[in-house]
Structure 1
Amino acid sequence: MAQLVTDDGVAIVYDDLGPRDGVPIVLCHGLAAAGEQLEADAHYFAGLGYRVLVPDLRGHGRSGKPAPLSAAGFSIPRMAADLVAMLDDAGVDPVHWVGNSLGGILALELLPRQPARFRTLATFGTAYRLSLPRWGARFIPLGYALFGPRLIAGMTAWGTTRAPSARPLIEKLVARFDPQVGRCVAENLSNYDLIANAVAATLPILMLRGGRDAQVNAALGPTLKAMQGRPNFALVEVPEGGHCANLDATEVWRTELLKFWRRH
């Protein structure tokens, strides 16, 4: 485990696994999760000789959060800057970046600003553009208050995956998540458009589309319209994958990533 303090005073914790001279990978989780979501995968890839960095985003897992809490403290550029600080702290460049949902959004934010940081980008559960009412973010703390963390965690796990083996970890992560952090992050995620960043990028980009990730798939139309046919973009279907495809379609997810990295 490693830790750094950002320029606005937030402690960011990340795991650094595998040989120091291995090809570096970043595995970055999404909203309401933590690096623990990708822990088994990190050990798997480290065992193959890769150097694997797994952050806990600010306000998630073991990392700290700014005080007072505000949407500005969890903006997409702010959270992306934390990850640049992690790469600097670890002394790695460039990396194969794998982002789930928010973890992919943050990479898309960095593409035009820090292109030399990337070897490749792979996303799963990530729409490159989203437009939702900003007020919807208020329902995150309201739901926790009305139903309690355990019930919210259980409902989220059932809605995220059909795999019984994956649900306990999702429940654990969601139950311990701070819903006020969720509100702050969700306010920033309600309306963003990073398609132009992906279109302008020249690095290899892979989208792993989970067949059971209904909500994100419903929002992918503009992304796919802009990206399909581009020579550096590949779309791979993961039919049994939900929003966290690494947990419920693990073998396919890992195999497709390894094929992608080895091609590039």
Structure 2
Amino acid sequence: MTTFTTADGTNIFYKDWGPRDAQPVVFHHGWPLSGDDWDNQMLYFLEQGYRVIAHDRRGHGRSDQTDTGNEMDTYAQDVVELARALDLKNAIHIGHSTGGGEVARYAARAEAGRIAKAVLIGAVPPVMVASEANPDGIPMEVFDGFRAALIANRAQFFLDIPSGPFFGFNREGAKVSQGQIQNWWRQGMMGGAKAHYDCIKAFSETDFTEDLKALTIPVLLMHGEDDQIVPIANSAHKAIKLLQNGKLKTYPGLSHAPFATHPEVVNPDLLAFAKA
């Protein structure tokens, strides 16, 4: 397996395909998945001549099942070290859900010349959980429920999510893919329960407001209008107002993972942004 070791001794798995002198596109997966969630997009961009990279976040997939460092500052630092280890320059970073938060925090801290553009798909910024400052956010009880379900029966929980709201398979008339459900479960169960538990706090409570405000690079927000996991009104509609150089593209009727259910729609939009 291809790995690099972070400063704190964590082994991070990554895939790195394509010409080493081509522009890099780096993919950041959602919770509780792995870099495999981007197989379609990696092959698509590879065919377009790009260098494509996807890592498994610490505690997820084939990376070390860490019991510490499972929070956004460390996730972003791991990407800083990945970019340095692979000497990535002028890269486009694409993140989904939790990975979108990771991209936002990384982009605000990236070393000069490392990042050119960012894409956040169904992403958690600015902040998910409800609070006095974010009164229309998602109640903490929802995330407490996630934690309780993970402890009680992680394997069943990781079937229930993709079978229902994640891909919108609970909507009337939805075209259900059993393969996608099983692949979601496979990816999730590869990771560590402690890291997955900790990451619920990371994706739900981290405030990315200042990260978004600090970005001067072009940022594309892509969001399904029927996202049941990260509702668009509490995420992309707020995030676009914080960006200096942002663009919002929404998809009527599509779910939390439009790149997975409708790659034929999303991939050309990603490519157009990459080439712009």
For residue 136 of structure 1, report the CA deviation from its aligned partner: 6.1
Specify which of 180, 198, 207 is matched with residue 194 of structure 2. Answer: 180
Conserved 8 A contact 1:59-1:65: yes
Specify which of 129, 136, 160 is matched with residue 155 of structure 1. Answer: 160
Number of the residue aligned with 1:30: 30
Gap runs ≥5 in structure 1 = none
Question: Quick one: structure 1 residues 141 and 214, their matched pair in 2 at CA, closer, same or farther if it must change by over 3 Å?
Answer: closer
Conserved 8 A contact 1:25-1:52: yes
CA–CA distance in structure 1, aligned partners of residues 27 and 157 of structure 2: 25
Specify the SS of the correspondent of 1:79.
Answer: helix
2:138 is aligned with 1:122? no
Question: Quick one: structure 1 residues 180 and 136, their matched pair in 2 at CA, closer, same or farther if it must change by over 3 Å?
Answer: farther
**Which protein has the bigger helix share?**
1
For residue 137 of structure 1, report the CA deviation from its aligned partner: 5.2
Specify the SS of the correspondent of 1:15.
Answer: strand
Number of the residue aligned with 1:222: 238
- The two structures have a TM-score, normalised by structure 2, of 0.84
Conserved 8 A contact 2:166-2:229: no
Conserved 8 A contact 1:137-1:182: no
Greater displacement, 4-13 / 206-215: 206-215
Number of the residue aligned with 1:251: 264
Greater displacement, 233-242 / 83-92: 233-242
Specify the SS of the correspondent of 1:74.
Answer: coil
Specify the SS of the correspondent of 1:215.
Answer: coil
2:102 is aligned with 1:90? no
Question: Quick one: structure 1 residues 111 and 176, their matched pair in 2 at CA, closer, same or farther if it must change by over 3 Å?
Answer: closer
CA–CA distance in structure 1, aligned partners of residues 93 and 266 of structure 2: 14
Q: What are the within-5 Å matches in structure 2 for residues 223-242 of structure 1?
A: 223-227=239-243, 230=244, 232-242=245-255
2:59 is aligned with 1:54? no
Conserved 8 A contact 1:45-1:52: yes
Number of the residue aligned with 1:6: 6
CA–CA distance in structure 1, aligned partners of residues 14 and 81 of structure 2: 11
Query: What whole-Å deviation, never above 9, does each CA across 1:15-59 have from its counterpart, x for those lacking one?
Result: 001111211100110110100110122122112110001100101
Specify the SS of the correspondent of 2:127.
Answer: strand
Number of the residue aligned with 2:135: none
Number of the residue aligned with 2:98: 102
State how many pairs are aligned. Answer: 255
CA–CA distance in structure 1, aligned partners of residues 208 and 195 of structure 2: 22
CA–CA distance in structure 1, aligned partners of residues 144 and 239 of structure 2: 27
Percent identity between matched residues is 24
CA–CA distance in structure 2, aligned partners of residues 207 and 178 of structure 1: 29
Q: Report the RMSD for the aligned CA atoms in angstroms.
A: 2.1
For residue 131 of structure 1, report the CA deviation from its aligned partner: 4.7
- The two structures have a TM-score, normalised by structure 1, of 0.88
Specify the SS of the correspondent of 2:165.
Answer: helix
Query: What whole-Å deviation, never above 9, does each CA across 1:57-109 have from its counterpart, x for those lacking one?
Result: 1011110033xx24xx1121111111111111212112011001121111211
Number of the residue aligned with 1:262: 275
For residue 240 of structure 1, report the CA deviation from its aligned partner: 4.6
Q: What letter corresponds to residue 12 of structure 2 in structure 1?
A: I
CA–CA distance in structure 1, aligned partners of residues 100 and 165 of structure 2: 20
CA–CA distance in structure 2, aligned partners of residues 213 and 32 of structure 1: 17
For residue 199 of structure 1, report the CA deviation from its aligned partner: 2.5
For residue 201 of structure 1, report the CA deviation from its aligned partner: 1.8
